[in-house]
Amino acid sequence: MNPVLSPSLAFVILIIFGLIWVGFGYWLGRRNKSLSDYMLAGRNVGLALATATAMATWVTSNTTMTAPQLTYQLGVWGMVGYSLGAVGLILFSPLATRIKSLLPQGYTSGDFIRLRYGKLAWRIFLVISFCYAFGWLVSLGMAGGILVNALSGIDYRIGMSVILIVCVGYTLLGGLRAVIATDFIQTLIIVAGVAAVAWLVIDNVGIESLHSSVIERRPMLLNLLFPASIMFLFNNLLFGVGEIFHSNVWWSRAFAFGEGIGGKAYLIAGFMWLPIPIVAGFIALAAPALGLTVPAADMVGPLVAGEIMGATGGILVFVVIFSALASSLDSLLAATADLLTQDIYRGHINPSATDAQCQIAGKWVILGLGAFTWLLCFPRITTLASLLYFTGAFVASAIWPIVFGLYFRRTSALGASLGMIAGSCLGLLAYFTIGFYVAALVSCAVSLLTIVTVSALRNEDFDFQLLENSRH
């Protein structure tokens, strides 16, 4: 299990890419004149950039590293189930159009929940959002450290720290404009790199050899009646839907995209994203044929690539996953900072804050978020998938409050609050008593039952004009 890259080479790649991204972020950040420029890239992002940023943000370390992990653990259904995460992007397409028309001057998903359901639901929603955001941030930071460690042998904590510093650096300097622009370049690198890795795996191992080794040594991975993976299929789909529907990462983009752009961008990005986890996950099936010793399931992707392609492949994988990591980490930092600035600082601490004060506060928040994420990542407490799916219990409970709240005036505010609480609690119970692969499913079901029942009993009536007329 010798690393495929020398530590010095890995450091050189990290420093070169780090300098490029930070320099680019600084250059783009010079055009930011207002809070709207900094937080929402001027609210006029075009279709090409919009599609690229939606796709690149959804191609995360969780796609390039967790897709192989889930394939290694749950087989072909794990791979297919992960790709169903694309459904979240596709279904968000009509929501993005609705969001932009309902809240043309909105900043965050919290704005909508506060105006639609009131303060109780807003605070519950913020707790869910922050649990998810920190879970995702930590999983991204951890993935950075794991990647660097698996490919070069550099200590996990050093790799994780360097990647966090780079992403915090260019997000801080450039705001959402830098995030979106770097996402565009990172998308091109990711798509080309993942395709090249998969092609090289097939070329080196061969489909027949790969298939016979899995059948002989890991037979359940190709079994279409693998119980845990059957349970996982819709869980992952609903988890992805919950992530996208509630998270400010996607709402802030809906606000930032130009008029009529959001719906098309999310639809195209969803279909373009769909094959990526299958291609990335597929390479994990080569592990048995290669007789690889896999210490942790989330290391299987880089290990296979490194084993097959040596140093060249190692560099390729390193660059691809670094790009995937950066494209998500920056988006999440920016969106979570927006949520903290707008909903916590302006919403709770300093309601009379000016836009200029919010812009300064936003920068401090990005720095603080980076430091907090670093602290949480430092002790490597769990695997990526376990950490990620823990948050599934929270986010899936927010699906119905968002969907019903956007379209139906009779949706009850109390029902939304209770739905989020009951869904999260029972989802967590399922996570601990059954497994990570059912948490989102249970949460979503309980939330639906609660919100429908309470709304039917209370018969509330909301006027959507209040949203359109409000100033955020």
Angle at 108 between CA 446 and CA 49, to 5 degrees: 110
Is residue 435 near other proteins by the rule CB under 8 A? yes
Is residue 326 near other proteins by the rule CB under 8 A? no
Assign 218 to helix, strand or coil.
coil
Is residue 409 near other proteins by the rule CB under 8 A? yes
Is residue 408 near other proteins by the rule CB under 8 A? yes
Residue from 176, 244, 403, 414 in contact with other proteins (CB under 8 A)? 403
Asked if residues 151 and 300 have their Cβ atoms less than 8 Å apart, the reply is no
Q: Which is nearer to other proteins, 43 or 98 (CB)?
A: 98
> Residue type at 203?
D
Residue from 407, 432, 457, 468 in contact with other proteins (CB under 8 A)? 407
Residue of 60, 69, 84, 58 lying closest to 282 (CA atoms): 69
Assign 195 to helix, strand or coil.
helix
In 351-412, where does DSSP find H-type helix?
Answer: 355-377, 384-390, 392-395, 399-407
Q: Which is nearer to other proteins, 215 or 371 (CB)?
A: 215
Residue of 264, 277, 281 lying closest to 52 (CA atoms): 264
Q: Which is nearer to other proteins, 86 or 241 (CB)?
A: 241
Is residue 226 near other proteins by the rule CB under 8 A? yes
Is residue 264 near other proteins by the rule CB under 8 A? no
Asked if residues 390 and 439 have their Cβ atoms less than 8 Å apart, the reply is yes
Q: Print the binding letters for residues 83-102 with other proteins: x by CB under 8 A, - otherwise.
A: ----x---x--xx--x----
Residue 156: count of CB within 10 angstroms of its CB: 18
> How many CA within 13 A on the CB side of residue 11?
7
What token pair was written down for 277? Answer: 């986890």
- The interface with other proteins within residues 299-318 (CB under 8 A) comprises 300
Q: Candidates 14-22, 107-115, 211-219, 360-368: pick the segment binding other proteins (CB under 8 A).
A: 211-219
**Diameter of the chain measured on Cα atoms:** 66
Residue from 448, 451, 454, 467 in contact with other proteins (CB under 8 A)? 448
N-term to C-term CA, the chain: 55
Q: Candidates 59-67, 128-136, 340-348, 398-406: pick the segment binding other proteins (CB under 8 A).
A: 398-406
Residue from 294, 308, 321, 388 in contact with other proteins (CB under 8 A)? 294
Residue from 45, 180, 233, 416 in contact with other proteins (CB under 8 A)? 233
Q: Least distance (Å) from other proteins to the CB of residue 44?
A: 24
Is residue 291 near other proteins by the rule CB under 8 A? yes
Question: Chain centroid to CA 413: how far?
Answer: 27
Q: Candidates 16-24, 26-34, 317-325, 431-439: pick the segment binding other proteins (CB under 8 A).
A: 431-439
Q: How many positions of this chain bind other proteins (CB under 8 A)?
A: 52
Q: How far is CA 61 from CA 226, 299, 430, 446, in A?
A: 25, 11, 26, 30
Residue of 180, 132, 80, 214 lying closest to 391 (CA atoms): 132
Q: Print the binding letters for residues 238-257 with other proteins: x by CB under 8 A, - otherwise.
A: x--x----------------
* Residue position matching structure tokens 């920056």: 330
**CA gap 12, 152 in Å, rounded:** 12
**CA gap 163, 167 in Å, rounded:** 6
Assign 464 to helix, strand or coil.
coil
Is residue 271 near other proteins by the rule CB under 8 A? no
257 phi, psi to nearest 5 deg: -70, 150
Is residue 290 near other proteins by the rule CB under 8 A? no
Q: Candidates 24-32, 59-67, 339-347, 397-405: pick the segment binding other proteins (CB under 8 A).
A: 397-405
Q: Print the binding letters for residues 55-74 with other proteins: x by CB under 8 A, - otherwise.
A: -----------------xxx
Asked if residues 261 and 279 have their Cβ atoms less than 8 Å apart, the reply is no
Is residue 432 near other proteins by the rule CB under 8 A? no
Is residue 165 near other proteins by the rule CB under 8 A? no
Is residue 227 near other proteins by the rule CB under 8 A? yes
**CA gap 385, 138 in Å, rounded:** 12
Is residue 221 near other proteins by the rule CB under 8 A? yes
Is residue 5 near other proteins by the rule CB under 8 A? no
Residues that bind other proteins (CB under 8 A): 1, 72-75, 87, 91, 94-95, 98, 214, 217-221, 225-228, 230-231, 233-235, 237-238, 241, 288, 291, 293-297, 300, 399, 403-404, 406-410, 435, 437-438, 441, 444-445, 448, 464
